[in-house]
Amino acid sequence: MATLEEMSEQLKLMSDKTRLTILALLKEKEMCVCDIVEILQTTQPNVSQHLKKLKHGGLVNETRRSQWIYYSLNTEDKPYLQEIMAELPSMKERIQAANPQSCD
């Protein structure tokens, strides 16, 4: 069970619009930085900084596949975040509209 401090820090991470958008994207599917950059129309360093904070806060996992790192949600063991994540708007259309090319 998470401490109040851990919960507070994770909720603070989610209070940033860009990080919340990244979480909403990762709710749809795992992604690499280049996919997120293309969808958000921002810079790679910006996305990487947000992902670093989300990873440090325990909200995302990273998996290395050859030279690319893929990010996925890590909220299954955080029931206090489940309802928030369930309420996030679908990003499927935004993902399809950007048509991100896989980093492979």
Tell me the whole-structure pTM to 2 decimals. Answer: 0.92
CATH architecture for segment(s) 4-98? Orthogonal Bundle (1.10)
Three-state SS at 72:
strand
* Average pLDDT for 44-64: 97
* Per-domain boundaries in the chain: 4-98
- Whether 66 shows a pLDDT value over 60: the answer reads yes
* Average pLDDT for 92-104: 78
* Residue 34 · residue 51 · CB < 8 Å: no
Q: What is the pLDDT of residue 99?
A: 76
